[in-house]
Structure 1
Amino acid sequence: MRKIILILFLIPFLSSSQSVYETDFNKFLDDYKEYFGYLEEQNVDIENIRNHYLNQAKSIKSKDEFISFMEIVINEFYNGHISLNTNISSSNKIIPTGADIYAEKIGGKYFISDLRKDFPAELSGLKRGSEILKFNDQEIENAILKFLPKSKNIYNKQMYQYALNMLLAGGRKGERKITVFQNNKVLDFFPNKIAFKKYDKLLELRKISEDIGYIKINNSLGNSELISKFDKALDSLLQLKTIILDLTETPSGGNTMVARGIMGRFINQELPYQIHLFNEKPYQTVRKWIELASPRGKAYEGNLIVMVGHWTGSMGEGLAIGFDAMKRADIVGTKMAGLIGAIYIFKMPNTKLGYSIPTEKMYHVNGLPREDFLPRNLTQNRDETYRKAIEISDNKK
């Protein structure tokens, strides 16, 4: 994710009939109407949303109540790249960063498709393929209604996907009781009771064999210190025939400087790696450009295999399509997080709440939207991805 900060300060004008919360709600929707790059793709009708929620906005009495209200409004856009830049104790975790379960609706039922490696859901004993029956003792079909768009009565696959995974991510506080049909039994799991310590390193490095090296990025694509750490790690593996670059734990995105720093170590010439498109709606013009990666330092010229997954988000997705566009790596993994666009940050005039808007559309250099990219070596889950990466590595010896 290339995160561009654009904070708009406006002098609020309140009519005698509008509260600060109603004004900020309308400003949020006005900004989305003008700047959101995916209105058509997400089938979003701003005025329908406004009409549905306006009476609620008029009745809000406190800032915390307004935050909770806006968190519901944001579900109308059903994508993890759209969020407020603040939270309260009742807020839900955002996806994919706050999620450790990836689930899908299949044939009217709900199943766990993937589990985040070494995170609480997996550590609690939940298994891929288990049917999800309840969340916190509520039937799953009813529980997901909280996160489905309220201004619509017909839901597509993407809406169900978003709602289900938001639900299973759980709140920032409180318990998660997940009831599943697993091993021919109805079982309850409590992931939040699992003692859990996140990784404390920007990356992990090891040699898998005499010929294969492995570098895993630990959700640090937004940290400029990663560039020097990556250089040191890569330099220690330059003599190996194959390197596996693991991007399966990059849910929070990052910035293009870090991404270009990584890509630059694998090329000997300037190459295009992604396309940006910004729709200048007021003027009926489009600004479109190709971003290049440039060589940097001593290039690794061996085989490169890039692992991606359901927790490869935003700039992680940009890296994957970049390596694919430059024909520099074999991409292996599941469909990625599908976070849409590059985001700008806006601010409400009265409450000063920040919010993200995906404004620039992002594309593979072949014209494919980034969110639609699928690896040529497609897998179903992270463990299968790792096995496939090793298999490809062995075949290249």
Structure 2
Amino acid sequence: MRSFALGCLVFASLGVSVPATAQDVSAGSAQPEAAFDAAAAWGEFEQLLRGRYAYIERDDIDVEAQLKRSRALAARAPDKAALRRIMHRTALTFMDPHLIVGPFEDDDYAIVMTAADLDARFHDGGAMIVDVRRGSPAFDAGLRPGDEVLSIGGKPANSAARAPFVEVLPDPTAAQLDYGLTLAVNGRRRGERTLEIRSAKGQTRTVELGSTRDWANSLRERDLVDLSFVGTGGDVAVLTPLNSLGDNGTITAFDAAMKEAIGAGARAIILDMRETPSGGNTEVGRSIIGHFTNRVSPYQMHRIPAFEREFTVPRQFVEYVFPREPYFGGPVVVLHGRWTGSMGEGIVIGMDAATRATTIGSNMGDLLGGLWNEQVELSGARVDLGGEALFHVDGTPREDYVAAIPIEPASTGADGSDPGIARALKELE
């Protein structure tokens, strides 16, 4: 993670006057509080996006039209709180869970996919549940892929899917509407969710669900890594990092789980990355991949557009993994899905690049790039963004990676079963 203080540079570039120093103010006089300049504050935010956000150039949305529309709204913002809401909603239009503007308010939508238990999209005119996070409130309430969401909080699903963007995006694309739907079904940071659901069998019911954020926070006390055994002979080890890729303790925890699995005579390993929505760091990622390779191997490619934009000189590099004990040379399957995010996505493409593992899963969380943390001074906002574009070593953008064996759903089947484990066992036969 990187952090930059942009305030001084942006003040100068935007022509904003700097407050007088103590020597310029006569004794006993009070400095008048400067009026809030919404246009200048928006300019600081837009300059940050254009300079450091690795994914500002894209062909799935009209970026220039969006920034123009948001800029006009921002210029009329009466205060910092109102401006932050415009900035926050503008970030949502990029459909990137790594592009976040805070500080948060209780009525902001929960962050996907960390504080999310449902994935949804529009299909044939209906708002359909695509996948459900196992063990979540939605899973326990019996929601399943194939269920149709008729309304959210009393609003028709189509209207609810537009609500996250409000005035900054009056005419969302189909992809943006799907993203808005996923935000809507997972609710706000605070408060209950009320979903009217029609099952695949045509039965209609109303489901009351609690805050996904509160539930996600309750998971922090779990073990770092789970080890279980499956298969008819109980000889297939399943190693599951439990959203712990940002905790360096996971390195030793995974080492221990590997030793236990090998010591128990595991003939194959399923590396289950379906419960890693919240990012992590490359030290943990490389340590995990290292157990499955016996040679130094490239696993992920990085490109930093900010340097090329500033200096006209591209910067691109490849990260490598090194062998790590204990080494496992038997069959390996890697599972992934919508709750595989950021470093979890990096491990998936790294396992594909550096080992002989077979990947099985659906589209992942699409948390774009390596995360940088920024502070924009004029608005007082905090911004997270992908500063480094990330690729498979074969040049495929990480967010475009497709499993060797694609499946959807990847986490929960229509009957509540686990399609990922079932498909992995079939592959390992």
Q: TM-score, normalised by structure 1?
A: 0.91
Query: How many percent of aligned residue pairs carry the same amino acid?
Result: 27
Q: Please give the secondary structure, in 2, of the residue aligned with 1:7.
A: strand
Q: Which moved more, 1:275-284 or 1:288-297?
A: 275-284
| 2:124 aligned partner | 107
Superposed counterparts of 1:42-53, under 5 Å: 43=60, 47-53=64-70
**Which of 234, 254, 259 in structure 2 is aligned with 1:230?**
254
Q: What's the CA shift for 1:351?
A: 4.0
Q: What's the CA shift for 1:153?
A: 5.9
Number of residues paired by the alignment?
391
Larger Rg: 2
| 2:243 aligned partner | 219
User: What is the CA RMSD across the aligned residues, in angstroms?
Assistant: 2.3
Q: What's the CA shift for 1:159?
A: 1.3
Q: Is the 8 A contact 1:19 1:58 kept in 2?
A: no
Q: Is the 8 A contact 1:341 1:359 kept in 2?
A: yes
Does 1:242 pair with 2:268? yes
Cα distance in 1 between the residues matched to 2:95 and 2:16: 30
Q: What's the CA shift for 1:285?
A: 2.6
Q: Which moved more, 1:163-172 or 1:22-31?
A: 22-31
Q: Is the 8 A contact 2:241 2:273 kept in 1?
A: yes
Which amino acid letter does the alignment assign opposite residue 58 of structure 2?
E
Cα distance in 2 between the residues matched to 1:39 and 1:207: 44
Deviations 1:201-231 (A, max 9, x none): 1111122244211111110101000000110
| 1:305 aligned partner | 333
Q: Is the 8 A contact 1:148 1:159 kept in 2?
A: no
Cα distance in 2 between the residues matched to 1:349 and 1:217: 37
Does 1:257 pair with 2:283? yes
Which amino acid letter does the alignment assign opposite residue 228 of structure 2?
R
Deviations 1:261-304 (A, max 9, x none): 11111111100111111221133331111111111223112211
| 1:373 aligned partner | 401
| 1:191 aligned partner | 209
| 1:267 aligned partner | 293
Q: What's the CA shift for 1:147?
A: 2.8
Deviations 1:123-169 (A, max 9, x none): 11222101111100001111111234855665434312211111111
Which amino acid letter does the alignment assign opposite residue 10 of structure 1?
G
Cα distance in 2 between the residues matched to 1:108 and 1:285: 47
Cα distance in 1 between the residues matched to 2:165 and 2:104: 20
Cα distance in 2 between the residues matched to 1:43 and 1:19: 34
**Which of 196, 201, 206 in structure 1 is aligned with 2:223?**
201
Which amino acid letter does the alignment assign opposite residue 355 of structure 1?
V
Q: Please give the secondary structure, in 2, of the residue aligned with 1:272.
A: strand
Does 1:162 pair with 2:169? no
| 1:291 aligned partner | 319
Q: Which moved more, 1:109-118 or 1:38-47?
A: 38-47
Cα distance in 1 between the residues matched to 2:174 and 2:348: 24
Does 1:175 pair with 2:175? no
**Which of 385, 389, 396 in structure 1 is aligned with 2:420?**
385
Structure 2: which 5+ residue stretches go unaligned? Answer: 19-33, 412-417
Alignment CA distance shift 1:234-1:320 (3 Å):
same
Q: Please give the secondary structure, in 1, of the residue aligned with 2:143.
A: coil
Q: Please give the secondary structure, in 2, of the residue aligned with 1:269.
A: coil
Q: Is the 8 A contact 2:190 2:211 kept in 1?
A: no
Q: Is the 8 A contact 1:324 1:331 kept in 2?
A: yes
Structure 1: which 5+ residue stretches go unaligned? Answer: none
**Which of 109, 117, 121 in structure 2 is aligned with 1:92?**
109
| 2:41 aligned partner | 24
